[in-house]
Amino acid sequence: MSIAEQVTARITHHGEGPAWDPAVGQLRFVDMMTGDLLTLRPDGGADRVHVGTVAAAWRPHTSGGVIVAVERGFALLADDGTVRTLPEVFTDPAIRMNDGGCDPQGRFYCGTMAYDGTSGAGTVYRLDLDGSVSAVLTGVSISNGIVWSLDGQTVYYVDTPTKRVDAFDFLAEAGTFGQRRPVAAITAPGASPDGMTIDADGFLWVALWGGGAVHRYSPDGTLADVIDVGARQVSACAFGGPELDTLYITTSRQGLNDDEQPGAGALFATVPGVRGVPVLPFGVAAAWQ
């Protein structure tokens, strides 16, 4: 076990969605329920851009700027700060976007959840390069981490209340999910899986909401490492830095009083001795190399 260092002040209320943006050479992440996309500065502060009522997840756009999942759909944030919201994917005000990511073909997937956590109310949507949107998985409850294996043949996925990381055969041409199987069970008391990333060895790093930690799992589900985090509500993680050797970890103050858990809402980081892989962008077919 190793311990992550707190690298910012209490900078978000509900930090989520970290990823390294090679275009700016900085980590970006979201303060989800304030609707802001943040870019980490070298001084430990962050620059904010407001993109909507909710800023759920984001990825770099190969044509410049970034694609962002907002409350009920997607938006394009240009390099000049202009936000263009695309047509809503759904209209139900009780549902919002949550976590997401891109496949190696450059399509953006984002899952939803009910504001009140209603079981089975969520859907995973796929945004294609032509702007069309399709549902690829229904009946989920709290759609969270999603990441592709290094060979692109498997998609790993977290529906938080299942307390598992599952794997699907990925049908790349169609952008759909095939046979499902469990990979790793989260057994730590009070902990549930949340956001997730993958390293250059193909191991999964899973943020544990309520568990105050990030767990590293081998592709067969063996627990290989534990990172202790100084906040209980650990929401997501991603590799960053010029060499992708730093694991950045977001945390949340959701449901906490001001005097509880001083580190909650801060960004944490550790250098775990392995490297990540470049973030898969939206827009064109991408490669891990």
Global pTM exceeds 0.85: yes
pLDDT one-digit tens code per residue, 240-256: 999 999 999 999 999 99
What pLDDT score was predicted for residue 114? 98
What pLDDT score was predicted for residue 122? 98
* 36 HSE (CA, 13 A, CB side): 14
What pLDDT score was predicted for residue 117? 96
What pLDDT score was predicted for residue 1? 80
Q: How far is CA 263 from CA 90, 118, 192, 260, in A?
A: 35, 29, 19, 9
How large a percentage of the chain has pLDDT more than 90? 97
| Domain ranges within the chain, ordered by starting residue | 2-270
What pLDDT score was predicted for residue 289? 24
Give 247's strand partners: 239, 270
pLDDT one-digit tens code per residue, 28-82: 999 999 999 999 999 999 999 999 999 999 999 999 999 999 999 999 999 999 9
What pLDDT score was predicted for residue 153? 98
Low-confidence ranges of the chain (pLDDT < 70): 284-289
**Cβ(39)–Cβ(45) below 8 Å:** no
What pLDDT score was predicted for residue 287? 39
Question: Does 2.120.10.30 match the CATH number of domain 2-270?
Answer: yes
What pLDDT score was predicted for residue 284? 62
